[in-house]
Structure 1
Amino acid sequence: MRPGWPGAEHLIALMLDILAITGPIYLCIAAGYASVRWNLFTKADMRVFGRFVIQVALPALLFNALASRRLDEVVHTGYLLAYAAGSLVLILGALWFACTVQRKGLTESAYMAMGMTCSNSGYVGYPVMLLLFGPLSGVVLALNLIVENLVKLPLLFTAADVGAHEGERPSLRRALTQTGARLVRNPMIVAIFAGFLVALLGWSLPSVITRTVTLFSAASSGLALFIIGGTLVGLQVRGLRRQVSLIAVGKLLLHPLAVFGAIVLLPLLGLPAVDGDLRVAAVLSAAMPMLGIYPILAQRHGFEGFTAAALLATTAASFFSLSAILWLMRHSAGWLTG
């Protein structure tokens, strides 16, 4: 077991540290709620703010996170395979369950699967990793960004877009062409590829560019949470409890279990293994609440209601589930060391 891993006597202190990390999230959400509830802003304003986050601030964050690292810092094949495989298994399972059992449309099913599998790697995951692993946390963040933004989100965006146009009955070729065109125009996807290109070529951007990008990226965190709070005003949760509970269980329990299963099974198939602290980091990354812009992404197809409620409930519950997972891992020293 790695030196400094918190012992049982430090569990309460660790839980308080997690609360200190998630506390500002709740306060930002509360500020957004109060601003709309007391008519400082309107819910229509939240949509405008959301467009700024999606079109400008978040792409700047993604570009900055990738372009500021060397390419070899994010090449851990075993981690990437395990995190992606576990997530994809749950995505397919969630899509099947929502479409077949719950009889929901493909677009709504895609956003349910997104809530279960796309983690808040930056605003919750990174501070927790920094608390536990120090310098390794930056590598973990970069690895998670690769899987989240180059595998899961493009796949789910494609499913959501196809579902939104399923009544038009386009040919498969036309549907794929339309979806590909939308992805190419998506500022987040463009920012990811641009960031990878800079990292691959080893370019050092002028300081005026990096500072400008950093200023825009810094706006994404607090504003995204503020928007979530404003979206919650007037939300009727009563009819959403079952759907919200399903998403929360999927994100906080099924996602880490799926990634854990991939970590154990993939080496048996002759694929690269995940060793040491990266094992813990992969499972913990999957156990984080969903990404903070989840309801903002869902605005595009009109599903910000249940997604905002799911984000709030899952983020609150994650304090307890993360503490429980950390405690379980603390008592699984043999597994931690690989």
Structure 2
Amino acid sequence: MRQILSVTIPVYLLIAVGWLAVRQGMFAKPDLRILGKLVVSFCLPALVFHALSTRAIADVLHPAYLLAYGGASLLMQLGGLAWARRVQRKPWSLSALTGLGMSASNSGFIGLPIVQALVGPIAGVALALNMLVENLVVIPLALALAERDGEAAEVTQRWHNTLRQTLRGLLVNPLILSILAGLAFALLGLRLPEPVARAVQMASAAASPLALFLIGGTLVGLKVRGMAADVVLVVVGKLVLLPATVAALLWLLSWWLPPIDPLLQASALLMAAMPMMSVYPVLAQKHGHEVFCAAALLAATVASFFTVSALTGWLAASGALPG
């Protein structure tokens, strides 16, 4: 347990430092946008590109991982939407956001530092595969479904507009471009010149600490009061049910597809157990549900310290993690 906490505690301490820095006025909320732009536009893309481009293509493309993680994400997304819509009678927009909260992990800002410390460089491959699932499937589907509030004809037009804008944004998304570039380098066996490769590696090394500081700052001012029952539903779905579904699908797929690296399997479970992405409340602003989503983000981030530590302990005890 001490070894597990030696990995998880520093991660959450950096989140706490970010929270304190903003809470005490050392950084303002607008400052975080600049920091976030640096991380998303340069540091994380550099890390993803470095992780993919320095491996053979066979070590990067894992159909079983994509099917298990993508399938579990879709099951949780549609299951959360159906529960909120059919059982709780929530509007389409809030139902879609409920499903998104249960299915979209904070793979880059929180997942990567923890998984990298536990399994090593292969965490970058897991991050890239997760980014494909989240950016090409989960987020566009959630945004499109959220547009179903209102009159049918207007909804259809907004649905098409949302999908078109999302796809257009993907074409200039630095993370998606870094994934494509990394896959191309891996496929063709290319390597960057040594000075450029070192620069990319230096930028990638800054991704984790900056991301953790950023997520801590974004939690300042968020409240959970008055929404406990609905928030608990999203948090349990995200932190418990999603990793359990990923584990079940990995086991089922192992009967038909070649097995993947055990460390990559552990990475999939750990990534799935992370809280939802930090832009979750931002995506909800258009529909007026940002307060609920912010409360869910805060609760999931705090609770994840205990659930991720428990999952890490179980993986270590079962021999899925290196000693």
Relative to the length of structure 2, the TM-score reads 0.79
| Residues 1:220 and 2:210 aligned together | no
| Residues 1:205 and 2:192 aligned together | yes
- Which sits farther off after the overlay, 313-322 or 20-29? 313-322
Where does residue 74 of structure 2 map in the other structure?
Answer: 88
Q: Is the 8 A contact 1:32 1:225 kept in 2?
A: yes
After superposition, give the CA deviation of every residue in 1:282-326 in whole Å (9 maximum; x if it has no partner).
6633553237xx214653554472354044223322244315633
| Residues 1:277 and 2:262 aligned together | yes
Whole-Å Cα distance in 1 between the matches of residues 36 and 163 of structure 2?
Answer: 27
| Residues 1:254 and 2:241 aligned together | yes
AA aligned to 2:69 is Y
Choose which of 163, 168, 182 in structure 2 pairs with 1:181: 168
Whole-Å Cα distance in 1 between the matches of residues 218 and 111 of structure 2?
Answer: 22
5 Å-filtered alignment, 1:1-338, equals 15-102=1-88, 103-104=90-91, 105=93, 108-109=97-98, 111-115=100-104, 120-130=110-120, 138-139=121-122, 141-142=124-125, 144-162=126-144, 169-171=155-157, 174-266=161-253, 271-274=256-259, 277=262, 281=266, 284-285=269-270, 288-290=273-275, 294-296=277-279, 298-299=281-282, 301-302=284-285, 303=290, 305-306=294-295, 308-323=297-312, 325-326=314-315, 329=318
Whole-Å Cα distance in 1 between the matches of residues 271 and 283 of structure 2?
Answer: 25
Secondary structure at 1:295's aligned position in 2?
coil
Secondary structure at 1:39's aligned position in 2?
coil
Whole-Å Cα distance in 1 between the matches of residues 86 and 208 of structure 2?
Answer: 36
Deviation at 1:277, TM superposition (A): 3.2
- Which sits farther off after the overlay, 160-169 or 175-184? 160-169
Deviation at 1:53, TM superposition (A): 1.9
Whole-Å Cα distance in 1 between the matches of residues 218 and 242 of structure 2?
Answer: 26
Deviation at 1:141, TM superposition (A): 4.6
Secondary structure at 1:238's aligned position in 2?
coil
Deviation at 1:273, TM superposition (A): 4.8
Structure 1 68/98 Cα, relative in aligned 2: closer, same or farther at 3 Å? Answer: farther
Deviation at 1:210, TM superposition (A): 1.8
What is the percent sequence identity of the aligned residues? Answer: 34
- Which sits farther off after the overlay, 92-101 or 297-306? 297-306
Secondary structure at 2:275's aligned position in 1?
coil
Deviation at 1:272, TM superposition (A): 1.0
Whole-Å Cα distance in 1 between the matches of residues 184 and 86 of structure 2?
Answer: 40
Whole-Å Cα distance in 2 between the matches of residues 56 and 327 of structure 1?
Answer: 33
Structure 1 173/251 Cα, relative in aligned 2: closer, same or farther at 3 Å? Answer: closer
After superposition, give the CA deviation of every residue in 1:20-73 in whole Å (9 maximum; x if it has no partner).
111111211111111122111112222232222222222222222211222121
Q: Is the 8 A contact 1:289 1:314 kept in 2?
A: no
Secondary structure at 1:51's aligned position in 2?
helix
Whole-Å Cα distance in 1 between the matches of residues 267 and 215 of structure 2?
Answer: 27
Q: Is the 8 A contact 1:29 1:229 kept in 2?
A: yes
Give structure 2 stretches of 5+ with no counterpart.
none
Whole-Å Cα distance in 2 between the matches of residues 295 and 314 of structure 1?
Answer: 15
Structure 1 79/169 Cα, relative in aligned 2: closer, same or farther at 3 Å? Answer: closer
Deviation at 1:155, TM superposition (A): 1.5
Structure 1 181/17 Cα, relative in aligned 2: closer, same or farther at 3 Å? Answer: same
Number of residue pairs the alignment of both structures matches? 306
Structure 1 307/70 Cα, relative in aligned 2: closer, same or farther at 3 Å? Answer: farther
AA aligned to 2:58 is D
Whole-Å Cα distance in 1 between the matches of residues 294 and 9 of structure 2?
Answer: 23
Where does residue 134 of structure 1 map in the other structure?
Answer: none
AA aligned to 1:295 is S
Secondary structure at 1:239's aligned position in 2?
coil
Where does residue 133 of structure 1 map in the other structure?
Answer: none
Structure 1 233/83 Cα, relative in aligned 2: closer, same or farther at 3 Å? Answer: closer
Give structure 1 stretches of 5+ with no counterpart.
1-14, 131-137
